[in-house]
Copies of this chain bind each other. A is one copy, B any other.
Amino acid sequence: MHVNVTRKALSDALGLMERVIPSRSSNPLLTSLKVDVSEHGLTLSGTNLEIDLSCVVPAEVRHPKSFVVPAHLFGQVVRNLGGELVELELDGSEISVRAGGSEFKLQIGDLDAYPPLTFPDAAHVSLDAAELARALGSVRYAASNEAFQAVFRGIKLEHHADVIRVVASDGYRVAIREFPSSGAGRNLIIPARSVDELIRVLKDGQARFTYGDGLLSVTTDRVHMNLKLLDGDFPDYERVIPKDIRLQATLSAALLKDAVNRVAVLADKNANNRVEFLISENRLRLAAEGDYGRAQDTLEVVQRGAEPAMSLAFNARHVLDALGPIDGDVELNLSGSTTPAIFRAAGERSYTAVLVTLRV
């Protein structure tokens, strides 16, 4: 077997593979990369048992023969190579990696022992990859990292009539992003950690979905990915979205972020990083206090609604997260001191953050 491949193409693909393939495992085979070699090029594949990933690398090939190699070592070797053109050659129980004046001989693994990974050919539905990545990226923060909150550790993907909606929640907040899409598909819950890897492989073009048994397969131009899905009922998040908005305040999201960051320095970490919001007379007054002192900050807002003033409190961290995907102005839609609030980009409804208020 003899392969000529560019260092950039190979190291980009290895970069994706190394994120999925564990660097340590009680089963050393799992730390390996499988390289299927055909006349068209290389197909790299690997798994962490939650995600299977495979990635195509164009290459010039003679005498194709597949092999298995330690993934992270191979990645490190390729990234450090000097030349732009890399030569691979199988030589008994070793693979030679040559570029510029360098030659590496790496031990290869047992090809037959490597678990078979299969990726579907046909797709059930096709989505815009960039829109999907942006939507998942916007709501990711609201998924839970706590081990006991089963479905809260996932992101729900819902097919509606003209839109796809992605939703994440940890029980204290909900983040929702919608984008236009016409295809009808299944609703499903993807583990948030797998979503991180999915976002990374989604670029432009189409993401083609194939539904399996407890499994979603996603195919793009260069990559196949199988994702294990979460089982269970996602909570009825619509129930917590307030309908009756009593006060709306609009201001620059960037100024609000800075001010919340500022007063949060003094907020009590053991009391949910509590920051008070007091809105009245076109002003938002932020206040926080902790063991070492007190902080306050005043910002101008454009105020609307039936209620002339409102006082409520949030976890500063949750406010900053909710503002993350919002550029320009943010609308704070408030239903009362003890009921959830809605944060949205002003005049825009594709992204919605719902936050519970802290008790007075």
Residues of A whose CB lies within 8 Å of any CB of B are 70, 73, 76-77, 80-82, 94, 101-107, 258-259, 261-263, 265-266, 292-299
CB distance from A329 to the nearest CB of B (A): 18
Partner of A262, one of B102, B263, B265: B102
Choice from B105, B258, B262 contacting A294 with Cβ under 8 Å: B105
Which of A76, A258, A262, A266 has the largest count of B CB atoms less than 10 A from its CB?
A262
A101's partner among B82, B107, B294, B299 (CB-CB below 8 A) is: B299
**CB nearest to A262 among chain B residues:** B80
Chain B residue nearest in CB terms to A297: B102
CA distance in complex: A133, B102 (Å): 37
Are A262 and B81 in contact (CB-based, < 8 A)? Answer: yes
Residues of B within 8 A of A94 (CB): 293
* Chain B residues, Cβ within 8 Å of A105: 293-295
Q: A82-B262, A102-B262, A104-B296 are in contact. List 7 more A-B contacts (CB 8 A).
A: A77-B262, A77-B265, A80-B265, A82-B258, A103-B295, A104-B265, A105-B293
Closest B residue to A94 by CB, please name it: B293
**Partner among B76, B82, B106, B294 whose Cβ is within 8 Å of the Cβ of A104:** B294
Q: Report the nearest B residue to A291, measured CB to CB.
A: B107
Number of copies: 2
List residues of chain B with CB within 8 A of the CB of A299. 101
B259, A102: Cβ atoms under 8 Å?
yes
Question: Using Cβ atoms and an 8 Å threshold, which residues of chain B touch A265?
Answer: 73, 76-77, 80, 104
CA distance A222 to B298 in the complex (A): 35
A106–B262 touching, CB < 8 Å:
no
In the bound complex, how far is the Cα of B220 from the Cα of A121, in angstroms? 70
User: When chains A and B are docked, how far (Å) is the Cα of A70 from the Cα of B266?
Assistant: 12
Q: List 17 A-B contacts (CB under 8 A).
A: A73-B292, A73-B293, A77-B295, A80-B262, A82-B258, A94-B293, A101-B297, A101-B299, A102-B259, A102-B263, A104-B265, A104-B294, A104-B296, A105-B294, A106-B292, A106-B293, A107-B292
Q: Which residue of B lies closest to A266 (CB)?
A: B104
Nearest Cβ distance between residue A5 and chain B, in whole angstroms?
18
Of the residues B70, B73, B258, B266, contact of A77 by C-beta under 8 Å: B266
Q: How far is the CB of A161 from chain B (nearest CB, A)?
A: 45
Smallest CB-CB separation from A106: which chain B residue? B293
**CB pair B103 A296 closer than 8 Å:** yes
Nearest residue in B to A258 (C-beta to C-beta)?
A: B82
The answer to whether B82 touches A259, judged by C-beta atoms less than 8 angstroms apart, is: yes
CA gap between A265 and B82 in the complex, in Å: 14
For A300, the closest partner residue in chain B by CB is: B101
In Å, the complex CA distance between A103 and B288 comes to 11
**Nearest opposing residue in chain B for A79, CB measure:** B265
Residues of B within 8 A of A82 (CB): 258-259, 262, 297
Contact across chains for B101 and A261 when beta carbons are under 8 A apart? no
Q: How far is the CB of A2 from chain B (nearest CB, A)?
A: 18
Distance (whole angstroms) from the CB of A333 to the closest CB of chain B: 23
Residue of A94, A102, A259 with most partner-chain B CB within 10 A: A102
Q: Which of A101, A266, A295 has the most CB of B within 10 A?
A: A101
Shortest CB distance A89–B (Å): 13
Chain B residue contacts of A77, Cβ below 8 A: 262, 265-266, 295
